[in-house]
């Protein structure tokens, strides 16, 4: 039995990833070729100021399934994924971070879970007893703190909303995206909170994660943590007070 119906679009946002982006794209391309389904990889360059765009264009010239979408300026991961979705043609949409800290092979696990559970959305989770995430103590503390915050605010039955690997049926995103306002890190919680509000079936499965950034927080700065908290409270206000998503 196939793991999918139709074409798969893999959306990979990137910002200043010039050092590894070509190699990561070619590696992901080879992995998805082995799956033997129609696919496209859409790399969204979110206003990088290094050589990311040039390195992506090199991959584009070599592989017809790889496409580049460029944002004029750096806006944020959420905006980048929304822009990538608008350029996609797949029946199933995959979000995959371009640093490949989530291995592309794991997309197959998510597709199988989507099929077996008749789910609309499948989220990878790093909070698993079976698969221990290999990342720093500071990152674990922040992740757990944010998990408690969203559990209290939104009553979501999910342990990890921020993992960089998710799979969606296209029709779900067509309904959800027009309501999305977050452009940066709180984008993930907004999309999932809306999904559950709209009665889409959302499940999560354990996925392995390898933390590779030298900085203990990765790309996330202290200001980003503060902004993410404010954006999350804004989502709560729009959902519970304004009923904006209804």
Evaluate whether residue 130 is within a structural domain: yes
Residue 113 lies in a domain: yes
Residue from 187, 185, 182, 178 nearest 245 by CA: 178
Q: Residues 188-203: pLDDT tens digits?
A: 999 999 999 999 999 9
Residue 180 inside a domain? The answer is yes
Q: Is residue 3 part of a domain?
A: no
Residue 134 has pLDDT above 90, yes or no: no
pLDDT at 135: 55
For the segment 155-176, the average pLDDT, to the nearest whole number, is 93
Is the pLDDT at 95 greater than 90? The verdict is yes
Distance CA 84, CA 68 (A): 9
Q: Are residues 63 and 26 in contact, defined by beta-carbon separation less than 8 angstroms?
A: yes
Instruction: Say what the pLDDT of residue 216 is.
Output: 45
182 within domain boundaries: yes
Query: If you search the block for the tokens 């804004």, which residue do you land on?
Result: 234
Q: Is residue 88 part of a domain?
A: yes
* Cα 91 to Cα 184: distance, rounded to the nearest angstrom: 25
Burial grade of 149 (CB within 10 A; 0-12, 13-18, 19 or more): middle
Pick from 154-163, 196-205, 233-242: least confident: 154-163
77-82 mean pLDDT: 94
Query: Per this entry, what is the length of the chain?
Result: 246
Residue 219: pLDDT over 50:
yes
* Distance from the Cα of residue 225 to its chain's centroid: 18
Cβ–Cβ < 8 Å for 37, 13: no
Element (H, E) at 116: helix 106-117
pLDDT at 2: 65
Q: How confident is the model at residue 129, as a pLDDT?
A: 57
Quote the tokens at residue 232.
Answer: 């999350």
Q: What is the CATH number of the domain that holds 150?
A: 3.90.550.10
Percentage of the chain beyond pLDDT 90 is 70
C-alpha–C-alpha distance, residues 49 and 99, integer Å: 17
User: What is the tally of structural domains in the chain?
Assistant: 1
Q: What is the pLDDT of residue 40?
A: 98
So what's the pLDDT on residue 215?
47
- Model pLDDT, residue 222: 75
Assess whether pLDDT exceeds 70 at residue 218: no
Whether pLDDT at 224 is above 90: no
Q: Which residues of 91-113 are buried (b: 16+ CB within 10 A; e: fewer)?
A: ebbbbbbbbbbbbbebbbbbbeb
Token pair belonging to 107: 């997309």
Q: How confident is the model at residue 212 (pLDDT cuts 50, 70, 90)?
A: low
Domain that holds residue 192: 8-241
Has residue 213 got a pLDDT over 80? no
What is the reported pTM?
A: 0.89
> What are the start-end ranges of the E strands in the chain?
8-14, 39-46, 66-71, 92-96, 121-125, 165-169, 202-206
Q: Where are the beta strands (DSSP E) in 119-215?
A: 121-125, 165-169, 202-206
Could you tell me if residue 102 is inside a domain? Answer: yes
For the chain, the average pLDDT equals 89
d(CA 92, CA 6): 8
Task: State the Cα–Cα distance between residues 182 and 76, nearest whole angstrom.
Answer: 9
Q: What's the whole-number mean pLDDT along residues 54-75? A: 97
pLDDT by residue (tens digit) across 16-45? 999 999 999 999 999 999 988 999 999 999
Per the domain annotation, does 84 fall within a domain? yes
Q: Rounded to whole angstroms, how far apart are CA atoms 38 and 6?
A: 7
- Closest by CA position to 10, among listed 38, 34, 39: 39
| Mean of pLDDT values over 135-163 | 81
């Amino acid at each position: 039995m196939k793991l999918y119906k139709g074409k798969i679009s893999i959306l990979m946002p990137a910002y200043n990833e010039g050092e590894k982006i070509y190699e990561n794209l070619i590696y992901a391309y080879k992995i998805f070729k082995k799956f033997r389904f129609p696919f496209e990889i859409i790399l969204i360059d979110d206003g990088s100021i290094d050589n990311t765009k040039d390195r992506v264009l090199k991959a584009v010239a070599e592989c017809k399934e790889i496409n580049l979408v460029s944002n004029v300026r750096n806006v944020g991961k959420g905006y980048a994924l929304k822009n990538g979705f608008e350029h996609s043609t797949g029946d199933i949409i995959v979000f995959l971070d371009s640093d490949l800290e989530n291995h592309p092979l794991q997309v197959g696990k998510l597709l199988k879970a989507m099929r077996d559970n008749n789910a609309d959305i499948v989220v990878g989770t790093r909070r698993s007893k079976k698969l221990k995430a290999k990342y720093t103590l500071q990152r674990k503390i922040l992740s757990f703190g944010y998990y408690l915050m969203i559990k209290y605010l939104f009553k979501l039955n999910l342990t990890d909303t921020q993992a960089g690997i998710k799979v969606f049926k296209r029709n779900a995103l067509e309904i959800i995206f027009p309501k999305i306002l977050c452009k940066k890190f709180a984008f993930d919680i907004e999309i999932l909170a809306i999904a559950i509000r709209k009665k889409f079936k959302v499940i999560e499965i354990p996925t392995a994660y390898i933390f590779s950034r030298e900085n203990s927080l990765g790309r996330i700065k202290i200001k980003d943590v503060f902004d993410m908290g404010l954006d999350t409270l804004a989502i709560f206000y729009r959902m519970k007070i304004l009923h904006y998503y209804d």
